[in-house]
Amino acid sequence: MKTVYALDAVTRAPEPIAPEPIAAAEIAARTARVAAIASAHAEAVDRDGRFPQEAMDALKAERLLSIMVPAELDGGGASVGQVLDICYALGRSCASTAMIFAMHQIKAACLIRHAAHEPWHAGFLRRVAAQQLLLASSTTEGQGGGDVRSSAAPVSQGEDGRIRLERDATVMSYGAQADAIVTTARRDDEAAASDQVLVVLEKAAYTLTPTLAWETLGMRGTCSAGFALKAEGAQAQVLSEPYAVIHAQTMTPTAHLLWSGVWAGIAASATDRAQKFLRKAARKAGGQLPPGAPHYTRATTALRTLQGLIHEGLAEYEARAGDPQALTHVDFQTRITLLKVEVSELAVSAVMSAMRACGLSGYRNDGDASIGRLLRDVLSAPIMINNDRILANLGASALLSEVPQSLGGFGLAR
C-alpha cells in the first residue's frame, strides 16, 4: 500500500497518515455479498462434499481474507468482534465456508499478534493481503486427536541452514486448496512433545500426499482430509514466540470465539427456517400453531443464550487483549475454554429444537424447512476438539476456580 501524505499548510513538511481500518458498514456490506453466494451453493457443496470455491472466490474478491491484518500491513484492520460477526453471517449461509473462513482467521490472528514485528512474517502478512492467501491449520497429528498441546514431528535443521518438517497431518481442512499451512511442531529433534513452535509453510515448498479421505456426516465442504506433509523453509518462518504462549493468548480465545460464531450462525439458520415454517403453517391453519411450535420457543431461547455467552466471551477477551498476563489468567482460560463446550452443545440443541418445531418438514431433505444439513454440520461442534477431552483437561483448574459469591448485584467481584 502506498503511504498517503497530508500536505499541511505552507510551513510543515508532509506527515504520513496511518492507513485507516475498513469501516464496519463496509465490512457488513462485503460480508452480505459473500454470504449470498455461499448460500446459493451450500446445498451442492454439502451434497458433493466439495470445497466451496464460489464462496472462496467471493471472499478473496471482497478482500475478506486479510480483513484482520493491520491496515499498516495492507489489511482491513478489523477487530476480532467484527470477524466474529462475519463468521456468524457465513454460518447462516454455508457452515463449511464459515468454518474455513474462521480457521483461516484464527491462524492470521496468531501471526498478527505474535509475529507481525518479525520481518519475514510482516512480509508474509502483506502477501496474505496482496494475494488473498488462504491459510490452513495443522494441529492434529497421527493418532493424537485433539491434543493440540503435544506434537510428534520436530522442526529439523538441515546442514544447508534450511528447516525441514515431515508430519502425519491426519485431519487438515482444505489442505489441498490452501496457499500456506500454519502448523504446530516440536521445536527441534531433542525437544519434548509439549515444547512446540508454530511454523508457516508455503505451498511452493511443501508436498501433501493424501492419506485419509473426508467422507463425513457434515462440514463436508471443509474437505478435512489427511495428508503426509513434507516441507522445508527458512528458519525465519518459525515464530519466535513459543507455541505455549500463542496457544493461551491467541489460539484458544480466537478459535473458541470464531468457532462459536460459526455454530451460532448454523443455529440461527435453523431457527430462521423453523420460524418461516411455523408462520406459513399458522397462516394456512387460520392462526392455529402446529404441535411442534413450543420447540421453536426453545430454539429461540437457545439462540439468545448463545448470543449472550459469545458476547460475554468476546467482551472478556477484548478487556484482556492488551494484557498478556490477564489473558493467561487461570479464570479467563477456564472460561474461554468452557465457552467452546457450552456453545457447541447449545448450538446442537438449538438446531434439534428447530427440527422438532418443523416436524416431518424439518426431517425431510427436500423442502424449504429441511434442517438435515444444518444438523449434520452442527454435530461436528462437540467433537471439533472433543468436549470430553476439554472437560477432562479442565478438571484440576476448574477445582481451583472460586464458586461465585454473588451475581453482581451487590457490586462485588463475580
Ligand X SMILES: Cc1cc2nc3c(=O)[nH]c(=O)nc-3n(C[C@H](O)[C@H](O)[C@H](O)COP(=O)(O)OP(=O)(O)OC[C@H]3O[C@@H](n4cnc5c(N)ncnc54)[C@H](O)[C@@H]3O)c2cc1C
Contact between 219 and ligand X per CB under 6 A: yes
At 128, list the grid cell: 496474505
Nearest to 151 by CA among 167, 162, 137: 167
> Does 172 engage in binding with ligand X (CB under 6 A)?
yes
Assess 171 for contact with ligand X (CB under 6 A).
yes
CB 383 to ligand X: min, Å: 4
Cβ contact 59:41 at 8 Å: no
Contact characters 173-212, ligand X, x per CB under 6 A: x---------------------------------------
| Residue 152 interacting with ligand X (CB under 6 A) | no
Nearer to ligand X, 254 or 361 (CB): 254
Gyration radius of the chain over CA positions: 22
Which residue, 288, 283, 302, 284, is CA-closest to 356?
A: 302
**Interacting residue with ligand X among 137, 249, 269, 353 (CB under 6 A):** 137
Binds ligand X by CB under 6 A, chosen from 56, 90, 103, 309: 103
Q: Cβ closer to ligand X: 137 or 300?
A: 137
Residue 388 interacts with ligand X (CB under 6 A): yes or no = yes
Looking at the Cβ atoms of 328 and 386, the one nearer to ligand X is: 386
Q: Which amino acid is at 225?
A: A
24: left (phi over 0), alpha (psi -120 to 50) or beta: alpha
If binding is defined by CB under 6 A, does position 145 make contact with ligand X? Answer: yes
Shortest Å, Cβ 356 to ligand X: 24
Binding-site member from 63, 179, 389, 394 for ligand X (CB under 6 A): 389
Residues 138/231, Cβ–Cβ less than 8 Å: no
> Residue type for 226, please?
G
Minimum distance between the CB of residue 336 and ligand X, rounded to whole angstroms?
A: 17
Distance between CA 264 and CA 343 in Å, rounded? 8
Which of 17, 213, 217, 383 is close enough to bind ligand X by CB under 6 A? 383
Please report whether residue 385 would count as binding ligand X according to CB under 6 A.
yes
Cα separation, 267 vs 309, in Å, equals 14
Choosing from 66, 139, 250, 254, the residue that interacts with ligand X (CB under 6 A) is 139
| Residue 68 within binding range of ligand X, rule CB under 6 A | no
Of 81, 118, 120, 146, the residue at the interface with ligand X (CB under 6 A) is 146
What is the side-by-side strand order in the sheet with 206-212? 156-157, 163-172, 225-233, 206-212
Which window, 29-37, 314-322, 343-351, 378-386, contacts ligand X (CB under 6 A)?
378-386
For ligand X, the closer of residues 227 and 317 by Cβ is 227
Stretch that binds ligand X, among 12-20, 138-146, 202-210, 312-320 (CB under 6 A): 138-146
Does residue 249 belong to the site contacting ligand X (CB under 6 A)? no
Please work out the total of residues on this chain that contact ligand X, with binding judged by CB under 6 A.
21
All three cell numbers of 127, joined, read 502477501
Which grid coordinates belong to 74?
A: 495492507
CB of 132 to ligand X, least distance (A): 19
Residue 380 engages ligand X in binding (rule: CB under 6 A): yes
Closest separation in Å from C-beta 145 to ligand X: 2
Q: Does 140 bind ligand X (CB under 6 A)?
A: yes
Q: Least distance in Å: CB of 189 to ligand X?
A: 22
Q: Which residue is nearest to ligand X (CB)?
A: 145
Which residues, numbered 251-280, are part of the site for ligand X (CB under 6 A)? Answer: none
Only segment of 56-64, 78-86, 114-122, 137-145 that touches ligand X (CB under 6 A): 137-145
**Residue of 53, 97, 11, 389 lying closest to 269 (CA atoms):** 97
Of 31 and 224, the one with the shorter C-beta distance to ligand X is 224
- Which residues are near ligand X by CB under 6 A? 103, 137-140, 145-146, 171-173, 219, 222, 224, 380, 383-386, 388-389, 392
